Structure formats: structure tokens, C-alpha cells
Amino acid sequence: MENTIVKISHLWHRYGTAWAIQDIDFEINEFGVLGLLGSNGAGKSTTMNIMCGVLNQVKGEVTIGGYDMRKDPIAAKKLIGFLPQNAPLYLDLTVNEYLTQCAHLRLIPKKEIQKAVDKAMAKCGVAHFRNRLIANLSGGYKQRVGIAQAIIHEPKLVVLDEPTNGLDPNQIIEVRKLIKEIGEEKSVIFSSHILSEVQATCEQVKMIENGVMVFENTMDAFNNYIEPDSLVMHMANPPIPEALKAVAGVTAVEVLSAQQFRIRFSEASDISERLVEASVHNGWRLKELTLEKSSLDQIFAQLSNKTPNKKS
């Protein structure tokens, strides 16, 4: 049975008179990568900063590994590794010097520090740069060093706020792989406003919009949230579009190529069967029929529009 690592209950926070988050409520079990999704300014960073003890919430409770963040912050923070949006790197130190300093700050016993540093560097793939100044590393390797400082003390929970922001495509792929590897051993929270990043990295997803939690489920459930309303039909002997429009349930036909059409429909229940029957009956010689999933952008927009307005 999985253990609950994080429990957040009725969390509220505001800046001035504007509520940043409202009644956020969720739990996270050990192991795996959870995506915290939301547009810029949705409340992701506020939630993560409170979770890590950087901010003091107005209302609500945060429990990490059974420790209340307000009542026992030192015990709670010992279980957390945190990489904020701007990695806390000392550019004039070498990788080894920086991680050694982080190990001291994390109260790792002196005789175990070098072992912890070596293990974190190996895990994050920066051991061959141990004597290089952090200022001279690429963006991707700087981010790896930032992740290394977050895991150096073997926390149960690793919190990564926009860890792929500003990286090039190759660097993003490498950091994604590293995050997934860490998720095999620890609980990882990965925040992003980029839908494809969460899709490629996470198993579970929670979405915050306008400070309110609007979705909590698996990544598959998120992808399938909106019922598909189109399919692509490839035929060797295609008819004119009007013949396809005559099939019951078809609402629109878009010509993609000489032999391919996008069919939009009102109900998905048996539209495929009706199109196959029409193809056989009329000799259209159907080659392929592919149901199109809604794009993540569509799902994001629909969930955002459903955001309720809460008041204290």
C-alpha cells in the first residue's frame, strides 16, 4: 500500500487583496511523477512555495511525511528537495564545491558529504564536470546541477518548478528522462504551463487555473477529457464531399488531400460503423479510419473556462 507523502488541506493564499490560490486540497503518494499544470499566474508556484515552506499560507494546512509544515517546519523540510523556477546556483563555484556546500546546508554528516555529492552528480550526469565552474555550463547542465542539489539529501519528495523552462529541445528530452528516473525512487512534483511537457513526463496530473483546482486524475484521463468529434478517413476511391455529408451523424467534411478527408460528427457511438458500411456499399475502398483525439490545448481551454469563482 502506498504511503501519503503530501497532504494539503483547504489551502488559501493572497497577495494584497487578490487571492492567488483558493481552497486547494489534494494528497500525493510516494513514488511517481505528478504534473501540476496551469497557465502563467494560475497559482502553481504559490502552491509549491507554500508546500516547501517558502511562503506562509493565509489559511489551510500542509503536511509532509506526517509533519505539519507550520508546527514542525524543520522535520518537514528535511523530507523535501526543491528546485524553484530560478535555480539557486552559485556561478563562481565548481559543481563539486557547490554541491558540497548544499550538503552542508542539508546537515548531511561531514564524513558522508563527499559520498552524497558523488551520488547526486552521478545520478544527474554531471560527474565529468565536477571541477568546472557552474558559470561555464550550458543551460541544460545548470539545470541538472539544480536538480542534483534538490536530491543530494535523499528526500522523499522532490519539487521541481518549471524545470525545463528556457532549455532547447535536446536538453528538455534529457531533463525529462532524469525526472522520470528520479520518480522511480521518490515522489516528484513537476510544474509547468506547457501542456506537452506534463504529457511527456507525468503519470498523474492536477490542474490549477485562477487559483482553483479544476482537474485531478491520470494523464490518460486528462487526454481523453473531451470527447473526440472528428476522424480522418483515407479511401482509394473517394466520393465527393457531399456523399460523405449524407452519412447520418456527419456534420462537416474537410478535404485534406485527394484521398483523405476529416469527418466531423455529432455522436461518436457508431459513426465508424456507418462510414464503413457506406464505403462498402458505394465502393469507396476504405484504407484507414482514424479517430482524432482532442489536442491538449483544447482540453486546457475547456477546463480553464469551467473554473469556478471562489470567495473567502
Strand order in the sheet with 18-29: 18-29, 4-15, 59-64, 67-68
- Taking phi first (over 0 means left), then psi (-120 to 50 degrees means alpha), and beta for anything else, what does residue 107 get? left
The domain that contains 268 carries what CATH number?
3.30.70.1560
pLDDT of residue 303: 72
pLDDT of residue 294: 67
Please indicate, yes or no, if residue 312 is contained in any of the structural domains.
no
What domain count does the chain have? Answer: 2
242 and 141 in one domain? no
pLDDT of residue 149: 96
Please indicate, yes or no, if residue 154 is contained in any of the structural domains.
yes
pLDDT of residue 269: 66
128 and 26 in one domain? yes
- Phi, psi (degrees; rounded to nearest 5) at 108: -70, 135
pLDDT of residue 1: 38
Please indicate, yes or no, if residue 304 is contained in any of the structural domains.
no
216 and 261 in one domain? no
What are the C-alpha distances in Å from 22 to residues 19, 38, 121?
7, 14, 38
Contact at 8 Å (CB) between 69 and 78? no
Please indicate, yes or no, if residue 258 is contained in any of the structural domains.
yes
Write down which residue in 170, 188, 223 finishes a domain: 223
Please indicate, yes or no, if residue 98 is contained in any of the structural domains.
yes
212 and 105 in one domain? yes
Please indicate, yes or no, if residue 302 is contained in any of the structural domains.
no
pLDDT of residue 69: 94
234 and 208 in one domain? no
Please indicate, yes or no, if residue 306 is contained in any of the structural domains.
no
156 and 281 in one domain? no
pTM of the model: 0.76
235 and 211 in one domain? no
Please indicate, yes or no, if residue 17 is contained in any of the structural domains.
yes
pLDDT of residue 210: 86
202 and 58 in one domain? yes
213 and 67 in one domain? yes
What is the residue range of 285's domain? 230-293
267 and 204 in one domain? no
219 and 70 in one domain? yes
The domain that contains 206 carries what CATH number?
3.40.50.300
**Tens of each residue's pLDDT in the chain, 312 residues:** 358 899 999 999 999 889 999 999 998 887 889 999 888 888 998 999 999 999 999 999 999 999 999 999 999 999 999 998 888 899 999 999 999 999 999 999 999 999 999 999 999 999 999 999 999 999 889 999 999 999 999 999 999 988 888 888 888 888 899 999 999 989 999 888 888 888 888 888 999 988 999 888 888 888 777 667 789 999 999 999 999 999 988 999 999 999 999 998 877 668 889 999 999 999 999 999 988 776 666 676 777 665 444 544
Write down which residue in 200, 223, 246 finishes a domain: 223
252 and 112 in one domain? no
- Phi, psi (degrees; rounded to nearest 5) at 206: -125, 135
Write down which residue in 223, 253, 283 finishes a domain: 223
